[in-house]
Amino acid sequence: MRTLNTPFLNAKDVHLPFTPLAATTVAAEKFRAAGLTLTAAGTIYFQKDEDADMRQKFDYCRSAGIALIVAGPTPETLPRLEKFAGEYDIKVAIHNHGPEDRYFPSPMEALKAVKRMDPRMGVCIDVGHTARAGIDVSTAIRQAGPRLYDVHMKDLVKEGGQWKQVAVGDGSLPVEKIFAALVETRYSGYVDLEYEISENDPLPGMIKSFAYMRGVLAGMGCSS
């Protein structure tokens, strides 16, 4: 992260142990002592409509000092999830997972689900999965407006009818238009690079992705 020149991390359980909570707190403190900011946790899945299951996950975020959960719920678990978001004062952003996602393939389904809920209930737009679902990412950002709490950034190309992830800037997603929509809507959250390829040597592609995004923002007269 120092090489990438970013202090911001959307943490997963591979970064922070889920149990015991004392270990979660210690690990989170180590990140902060290193000068890093834990912006969110997740994706955390809420498949059980049970208080005990949800409370464990909200306690995890509270122990880590994290105020945003990137969530994978079901329509059935949403009302209980809303209750816990209010009780803990932690925001919940539903993550869309593309055509394979039974409930929230695009941000549009998530927005429809939360539009009458507590304002702590919102969406995390994954730009790659949104594009795969056939939705214009910029349009989704504008429609989400103040309910957009997080963005997962990546780039894709389509080869032989299949989508393939590449470094940001090497694919077909309209990165400049995406950032323009974020600026237009006064988005105040984070744009998280989600780089899921080249697992044995990811750093070159990550460096290239950050350089491209920062170049786009600089060209727009914005800082990153």
Q: In which residue are the tokens 């949403």 written?
A: 78
Token reading at 179: 């950032």
pTM: 0.94
Cα-Cα-Cα-Cα dihedral of 198, 199, 205, 210, to 10°? 150
Tell me: pLDDT of 8 over 90: yes
Residue numbers of the domain that contains 136? 8-219
Report if residue 182 sits inside a domain: yes
Mean per-residue pLDDT of the chain: 96
- The helix/strand/coil state of 38 is strand
The CATH number linked to 152 is 3.20.20.150
Report if residue 1 sits inside a domain: no
Report if residue 2 sits inside a domain: no
Report if residue 82 sits inside a domain: yes
Instruction: Average the pLDDT over 94-99 and give the result.
Output: 96
Report if residue 99 sits inside a domain: yes
- Amino acid 201: pLDDT: 96
Tell me: pLDDT of 224 over 70: no
Cα-Cα-Cα-Cα dihedral of 130, 69, 75, 47, to 10°? 110
- Amino acid 4: pLDDT: 95
Report if residue 114 sits inside a domain: yes
Q: Total domain count for the chain?
A: 1
- Rounded percentage of the chain residues whose pLDDT exceeds 90: 93
Report if residue 3 sits inside a domain: no
Report if residue 67 sits inside a domain: yes
Sign of CA dihedral 160, 161, 165, 169: positive
